[in-house]
Amino acid sequence: MSERIAVVEEIMGANDRLAAQNRKRLDEAGVLAINIMASPGAGKTSLIERTVRELAKDLEIAVVDGDVATGIDAERAARAGAHAVQINTGGECHLDAVMMQSAFDQIDLNQIDLVIIENVGNLICPAGFKLGAHKNVLIASIPEGDDKPYKYPAMYRGVDALVINKIDLRPYVQFDMDYFKHGVATLNPGLQSFPVSCQTGDGLLAWYTWLRTLIG
Amino acid sequence: MSERIAVVEEIMGANDRLAAQNRKRLDEAGVLAINIMASPGAGKTSLIERTVRELAKDLEIAVVDGDVATGIDAERAARAGAHAVQINTGGECHLDAVMMQSAFDQIDLNQIDLVIIENVGNLICPAGFKLGAHKNVLIASIPEGDDKPYKYPAMYRGVDALVINKIDLRPYVQFDMDYFKHGVATLNPGLQSFPVSCQTGDGLLAWYTWLRTLIG
């Protein structure tokens, strides 16, 4: 068993070193990168579409889409007005810093203000792999249920901001917001949160403003 | 790289052999086992609660709950009337045949008619690990979106039945059922499907009947 653990640590070490190189490359080009994570269907692609439509009015945006299969998400991001790169991970349940390096090779970072990375739909694996992004963002969604912070603590612990999507569905599902927020606060005190609906647009202004402030 | 692949194949081979042992043990005890997989929040625990409440009237049921953390789901299953075993996988994104063997060691299988396994909330990793169950069941949910078969093909390809949950939310979300069903039919022609709402109870009778027929 100890041999197996040693190999895993070595992989993680290599990934972290490459993530630091990715970050340096972004900083030299003056690009902000955010890494968006969520379970399947929480609304990553919808949030990115909305964000690109709004911010592409005056910013150049690249979207790197990670999926096990298909190019559906990159096509949606491109239609919204972004430079889009699709990464199909095959069976892998997360993006890693090597994949990100390959994606950056396909983008002229000097022409870009903001890179939005859409990680693979998963609440477990992506938490363990740094990509080099400046901010890690998690999307929770109301119909997923209020117990997710308790059940996926590593993901909630490691992020810099939380988008709570599909608030338009609150009248139709059981979701105890106090219970949810207590779980979040225990794992990640003071975490910046954005309750939104990507369907109606409610709450998105605060999210756009936060991003604009980061870009400066 | 070839060395890394060889190791992965060896792990899978060992898992498959142990899954076959688990199956033999179930068959000798005359127990039906189903493995329920889904993304986080699709309704695994709610479906299991409903199923246990209905079938525990005349059957002995054990629930094996896999989660990264907490015992929330096993507590819910136990309250509904099942013998419940919680497996916390730590960081692992799926159950495997070794964990299942340990769980079965904690159950008197000769007293049980049905074992319901609740896998870790994930649409990727659980598809690759046999447990020894007789039927693999996937829960999709309406608010997850209609593109999931296209984006998680291995999961849809490998299951014996599909529960489509949260049909009560159809009026409030965009979900093209024809597009969804086309994706499913391409990957898994003739797949048995159960449109249900675990909130209202709609459609669950057909699911209970299917399970009772399997138990015989």
Q: What is the pLDDT of residues A178-196, one digit of tens each?
A: 999 999 999 999 999 999 9
In angstroms, the CA B14 to CA B1 distance is 20
Nearest to A41 among B128, B145, B150 (CB): B145
Q: What would the pLDDT profile of B69-126 be if each residue is shown by its tens digit?
A: 899 999 999 999 999 999 999 889 999 999 999 999 999 999 999 999 999 999 999 9
Q: What would the pLDDT profile of A104-115 be if each residue is shown by its tens digit?
A: 999 999 999 999
Q: Is the pLDDT of residue A94 over 60?
A: yes
Distance from the B29 Cα atom to the nearest Cα atom in chain A, whole angstroms: 32
| Averaged pLDDT, B188-202 | 98
Q: Are A191 and A159 in contact (CB under 8 A)?
A: yes
Q: Are A205 and A54 in contact (CB under 8 A)?
A: no
Q: Are B36 and B117 in contact (CB under 8 A)?
A: yes
Q: Which DSSP letter does residue A140 get? A: E
B168 contact A CB<8A: yes
| A window 74-113, beta carbon within 8 A of B | 91, 93
Cα B30 vs. chain centroid, distance in angstroms? 20
Q: Is the pLDDT of residue B141 over 70?
A: yes
Residues of A in contact with B124 (CB under 8 A): 68, 91, 93, 120, 122, 125
Q: Which DSSP letter does residue B11 get? A: H
Contacts of A95 (CB under 8 A, 6+ apart): A35, A64, A66, A87, A89, A117, A119, A120, A126, A129, A131
Q: Which DSSP letter does residue B97 get? A: H
Q: Which of A151, A170, A174, A197 is the best substitution to test chain B (most B C-beta atoms within 10 A)?
A: A151
How sure is the predictor about A1, in pLDDT bands with cuts at 50, 70 and 90? Answer: very low
User: Which tokens sit at B16?
Assistant: 């498959």
| Cβ contact B91–A168 (<8 Å) | no
Q: What would the pLDDT profile of A29-44 be if each residue is shown by its tens digit?
A: 999 999 999 999 999 9
- ipTM here: 0.88
Per DSSP, the residues of B154-210 read HHHHT-SEEEEE-GGGGGGS---HHHHHHHHHHHSTT-EEEE--TTT-TTHHHHHHH
In angstroms, the CA B120 to CA A199 distance is 29
In angstroms, the CA A184 to CA B78 distance is 26
Q: Is the pLDDT of residue B1 over 50?
A: no
- Determine the residue of chain B that is closest to A66 in CA distance: B151
The structure's pTM equals 0.92
One-letter amino acid at A145 equals G
B199 contact A CB<8A: yes
| B window 6-35, beta carbon within 8 A of A | none
Residues linked to residue A32 through DSSP beta bridges, in sequence order? A114
- Determine the residue of chain B that is closest to A65 in CA distance: B151
B163-to-A106, B36, B96, B129, B207 alpha-carbon distances in Å: 40, 10, 22, 20, 8
> Dihedral through CA A92, CA B158, CA A70, CA A131, nearest 10?
-20
Nearest to B70 among A124, A150, A172 (CB): A150
In CATH terms, A2-215 corresponds, of 3.30.2230.10, 3.40.1280.10, 3.40.50.300, 3.20.20.450, to 3.40.50.300
Per-residue confidence (pLDDT) for residue A206, from 0 to 100? 98
In angstroms, the CA A62 to CA A70 distance is 18
In angstroms, the CA A186 to CA A184 distance is 5
Distance from the B17 Cα atom to the nearest Cα atom in chain A, whole angstroms: 20
Nearest to A172 among B70, B123, B172 (CB): B172
Phi, psi of B161 (to 5 degrees): -155, 155
Distance from the A67 Cα atom to the nearest Cα atom in chain B, whole angstroms: 7
3-class secondary-structure state, position A162: strand
Residue pairs spanning A and B at CB distance below 8 A: 109
Nearest to A93 among B124, B151, B173 (CB): B124
Could you state, in order of their start, the residue ranges of all structural domains in chain A?
Answer: 2-215
